[in-house]
Amino acid sequence: MAIEFHFTPELHLKDGRVIRDLDDALSFAREQEARPGVDQRDEILHKIEHARRKEEAHAAAHSFLRWLEELEILE
């Protein structure tokens, strides 16, 4: 399990889902289909799953947020 990290403020997606922490982020990323050459899903999963320190969790959260912005699914 990834280190504890909470998004402040929470991330609200266009489909109504709310991402509160890295566990939510991990669940969301796992549900998405991989699109090779289109997005960074696998890299995001890897960063979240392997975050063991506060700095790694922060970097994983930042990468996840940028990925959501690329997908244009944030409220």
The whole-model pTM stands at 0.89
d(CA 63, CA 26): 12
Model pLDDT for residues 27-70, shown as the tens digit of each residue: 999 998 877 665 689 899 999 999 999 999 999 999 999 999 98
Q: Which of the four pLDDT bands, split at 50, 70 and 90, describes residue 21?
A: very high
What would the DSSP string read from start to end of 34-48? P-TTT--HHHHHHHH
Q: What is the pLDDT of residue 40?
A: 85
